[in-house]
Amino acid sequence: MKTEAVAGTEELAAKLKGAMRGFAQSVVIITTIDDAGVRYAMAATAVTPLSMDPPSMLICVNRTVSSYKILEGGANFCLNILGVDQQDIARCCGGAAKGEERFATGHWETDEHGLPYAADAQAVISCHQRQRISYGSHDIFIGDVQSVRLADTVDPLIYLDGAYRRIGPKL
């Protein structure tokens, strides 16, 4: 393994981005809704379970994205874990479309908590926002899980080394 001392913050950030290209993550679409009923969706990989007691999730959101202001205001959110056949939704919500156009791709419904969700996602986790923590360019949002929907099969869409991928056979 090659080890290098990194001097500046920009160079360190570039090295970290390079390292994270090898960190495989499921592709998740974070959805929320504002008080006027406007829906928001963004692709994310900075999503992780926080605790099973209480069941809770953690998401990291850049302050520059459109849904940030809604989440900052305390809105609840939904985590849509995409299946391998949902690359079109990932691309659309990852920047190819804006605003309501992001909901033109895929089959979207509204859950019992009023949150939009991808009805054919591999898994859907609805969360009640509990806490927000600011750090650097992002805010960390913690949500208590309110409900979980699961598909019959597990075949997640993975993001690794700058590309969408699928998991191979078990080792």
Report the pLDDT averaged over residues 70-91. Answer: 96
Handedness of CA 144, 147, 152, 157 (dihedral sign): negative
Q: Give yes or no for a contact between 30 and 78, defined as CB atoms under 8 angstroms apart.
A: yes
Domain boundaries, the chain: 24-162
Name the 3-class secondary structure at 131: strand
Residue-wise pLDDT for 35-66, tens only, equals 999 999 999 989 999 999 999 999 999 999 99
Position 4 scores a pLDDT of: 58
- Residue 45's alpha-carbon distances to 79, 141, 169, in angstroms, are 11, 14, 22
Question: CATH topology for 24-162?
Answer: Pnp Oxidase; Chain A (2.30.110)
Residue-wise pLDDT for 103-118, tens only, equals 999 999 999 999 999 9
Confidence of residue 97 (pLDDT cuts 50, 70, 90): confident
Supply the pTM of this predicted model. 0.90
Measured in Å, how far apart are the chain's first and last C-alpha atoms?
A: 24
Position 5 scores a pLDDT of: 57
* Separation CA 131–CA 57 (nearest Å): 11
Is the pLDDT assigned to residue 77 strictly greater than 90? yes
Residue 54, preceding peptide bond in cis (omega within 30° of 0):
yes
Name the 3-class secondary structure at 72: helix
Could you give the percent of the chain with pLDDT greater than 70? 96
Is the pLDDT assigned to residue 16 strictly greater than 80? yes
